Amino acid sequence: MKLSILQENLAHGVTAVSRAVAAKAQLPVLANILLATEGGKLKLSATNLETGITVWLNAKVERAGKVTVPGRVFGELVTSLPQEAVELTVSEEKVQVKSGAYRATVNGISAEEFPEVPTLAGKKAAGELGLDGAALSEAVSLVAFAAGTDEARPIFTGVKMEFSKKGLRLAATDGYRLSVKSLPGSKIKGAGKEMVVPARALTELTKMLKDEEGEEVRLAATDKEKQLIMSLDGVEVVTRLLEGDFPDFDKIVPGSSKTKLELETEELHQAVRAAAIFARDSANIVKFKIEKDKLTVTANAPQVGENEIGVAIKKTGEDSEVAFNSRYLLEMLSAVTAERLGLELSGPLSPGMFRAAGDDSWLHIIMPVRVQG
């Protein structure tokens, strides 16, 4: 194999596929990136056997071939090269890298060892669904963080995507919080289709969006193989779909609540950040006390101290008290973009529901922490 490619393109491609390189691979080849020539382009693939990422890069191919190289080393090497054309020559599983005055040789592993990463290779798949990239990206950022990381409950590591006539709904939960976002739109097809996609794969996909208007993400799922290929221009993310029953989250969305309030997102974010300093040493517990037109955010750690921050609110209903895990609050507050937030509560044991003020398409529910005193 011999080819030359612009450093910028190569670095971009390597960074993209590196996200799928297995972190703790039992098989050395899974820590590698596949380099292969395909249709006059350079194809890069990586996989951790749950998710695989493939990119196709423009290159001047002189001699076809394929090889795998250690992802981390190759990635670091490529990003440190000057912004010029890079020449890659492969002979006997060794990759020679030449760029200007830089010379390097990377030891690779035969491409035969590398598992096949399924791709559409730019072709359209049957039953493919198209989504607006920017909208999907926003939805994923509002939802995916709520998914769990506990492999003992695999279904909770996914984002449920529900297609209906009204559009698409995404939901994620780790059992202690729930995030739901609706993307209304009659143009969205696939009504009745449901799937649970690993949250990590969706997050990786949205990181590769170019933030261009009209950018489209195409989803092609195969039920038999329980896989989903999500493709962008020149990039494909393939992931397995999660099996199992996603919990019926609609039934835990409170229908009514005893206390409703509205406040500035940033003000609450700052308050919780400050309270979290003390909450760190006491199980991350941050208390909310709602009285009249004020929300008092407090935290205390017997060994460290305590703090109290007041946040102005607009309230209807009863005064209330509730405690949350500060980590959940902070993750939610970092994700939300709305300037004002609504919060609905029904006592210290009932879940608290956050919404973007004036926007019903997103909701976030957090289970409170029980505290005494």
Residues engaged in binding another protein (CB under 8 A) = 25-28, 30, 47, 49-50, 52, 115-118, 151-154, 173, 175-178, 224-227, 238, 240, 242-244, 247-249, 252, 283-285, 321, 324-325, 347-351, 365-373
Q: Output phi, psi for 71, to 5 deg.
A: -60, -45
- Asked whether the beta carbons of 294 and 315 are under 8 A apart, the reply is no
* 328: CB partners within 8 A, 6+ apart: 176, 177, 366
| Pairwise CA distance, residues 167 & 188, whole Å | 6
> What's the one-letter identity of residue 48?
N
140 versus 367: smaller Cβ distance to another protein: 367
Shortest spacing between CB 52 and another protein, in angstroms: 7
77 versus 170: smaller Cβ distance to another protein: 170
Shortest spacing between CB 45 and another protein, in angstroms: 11
Shortest spacing between CB 16 and another protein, in angstroms: 18
151 versus 211: smaller Cβ distance to another protein: 151
Shortest spacing between CB 5 and another protein, in angstroms: 27
| Pairwise CA distance, residues 360 & 183, whole Å | 11
- Asked whether the beta carbons of 38 and 56 are under 8 A apart, the reply is yes
Nearest to 59 by CA among 77, 42, 71, 75: 42
103 versus 292: smaller Cβ distance to another protein: 292
Shortest spacing between CB 250 and another protein, in angstroms: 11
How far from 111 is each of 36, 115, 238, 306, CA to CA, in Å? 9, 9, 19, 58
Shortest spacing between CB 65 and another protein, in angstroms: 19
Place of tokens 């990590």: 200
Q: CA dihedral defined by 57, 62, 65, 68, rounded to 10 degrees?
A: -50
* 368: CB partners within 8 A, 6+ apart: 322, 323, 324, 348, 349, 350, 351, 352
Residue 122 exposure: Cα atoms within 13 Å on the Cβ side: 9
Nearest to 68 by CA among 13, 27, 21, 110: 110
264 versus 321: smaller Cβ distance to another protein: 321
Hey, what are 337's tokens?
């973009």
4 versus 173: smaller Cβ distance to another protein: 173
Shortest spacing between CB 86 and another protein, in angstroms: 29
70 versus 351: smaller Cβ distance to another protein: 351
Residue 354 exposure: Cα atoms within 13 Å on the Cβ side: 28
12 versus 315: smaller Cβ distance to another protein: 315
How far from 6 is each of 65, 210, 253, CA to CA, in Å? 19, 19, 51
Shortest spacing between CB 301 and another protein, in angstroms: 12
96 versus 222: smaller Cβ distance to another protein: 222
Shortest spacing between CB 27 and another protein, in angstroms: 4
